[in-house]
A and B are shown apart, each in its own frame.
Chain A
Amino acid sequence: TQLLEQSPQFLSIQEGENLTVYCNSSSVFSSLQWYRQEPGEGPVLLVTVVTGGEVKKLKRLTFQFGDARKDSSLHITAAQPGDTGLYLCAGARAGNNRKLIWGLGTSLGVNP
């Protein structure tokens, strides 16, 4: 059983479209991170959210942490081919400060 469920698993869209991907759990997290991984490379941290209800923006990317700190979403506005990659969420569970829990990721393809 995945503690962090990411959806959708795969997404293929056209350049200029908007999209939202989700990271859900029944567990509470003290913090949650989003990473993007491009083919042949390691994941790269995009953002860390720590407060319930927190919204962070990174250019065209908007990250939200759920009020109960059990879920998060990533919204991309006007997607570009450069956004193509695997989006991973990873959470630090409240009360367990030793390990990050990783989702399986959403593989995004943006077609020009």
Chain B
Amino acid sequence: DSGVTQTPKHLITATGQRVTLRCSPRSGDLSVYWYQQSLDQGLQFLIQYYNGEERAKGNILERFSAQQFPDLHSELNLSSLELGDSALYFCASSSGTSPGNTIYFGEGSWLTVV
């Protein structure tokens, strides 16, 4: 158990819909990361927040947005969903901002768009 909690674990939704994925980081961790993992693209970094502020941005689509709240939990919002958005979405956390810090991953949220 990494200490990172993600909900929901599985989600099936239709194209065009909007979903919200939720993440609680490890106790004490200020950084939250969101990743997308698919068979063809591998693990893709989407975005990082540190103590409520956006810290780094990766390959996040404009249809996707995220935020980190004062209690440090984070949400990833995916809108106008397309079939290609079907993937495993991971949240991860670390204590600091350096990419050399140990990153702890949650178990992921499986999103299937039909």
Q: Cα distance A12–B98 when bound, in Å?
A: 35
- The listed residue (A30, A44, A88) touching B100 by CB distance below 8 A is A30
> B64 in the interface, Cβ–Cβ < 8 Å?
no
Interface residues of A, count at CB 8 A:
21
Residues A42 and B106 in contact, CB atoms below 8 Å apart? yes
In the complex, number of A-B residue pairs with CB atoms less than 8 Å apart: 57
B100 touches A48 (CB 8 A): yes
Tell me the smallest distance from the CB of A93 to a CB of chain B, in Å: 8
* Range for the number of chain B residues in contact with chain A: 20 to 34
Name B99's contact: one of A44, A88, A99, A105 (CB within 8 Å). A99
- Chain B residues within 8 Å of A45, by CB: 102-104
A42 to B37, CA, bound (A): 10
Q: When A and B form their complex, which 3 residue pairs have the shortest distance between CB atoms, in order from nearest?
A: A42-B105, A92-B99, A104-B42
**Which B residues contact A (CB, under 8 angstroms)?**
2, 4, 42-45, 48, 55-56, 58, 90, 92, 97-100, 102-108
Interface residues of chain A, those whose CB is within 8 Å of chain B, are 30-31, 33, 40-45, 48, 50, 88, 92, 97-100, 102-105
User: Can you sample 9 A-B contacts with CB below 8 Å?
Assistant: A41-B108, A43-B105, A88-B43, A92-B98, A97-B98, A97-B99, A99-B45, A99-B48, A102-B42
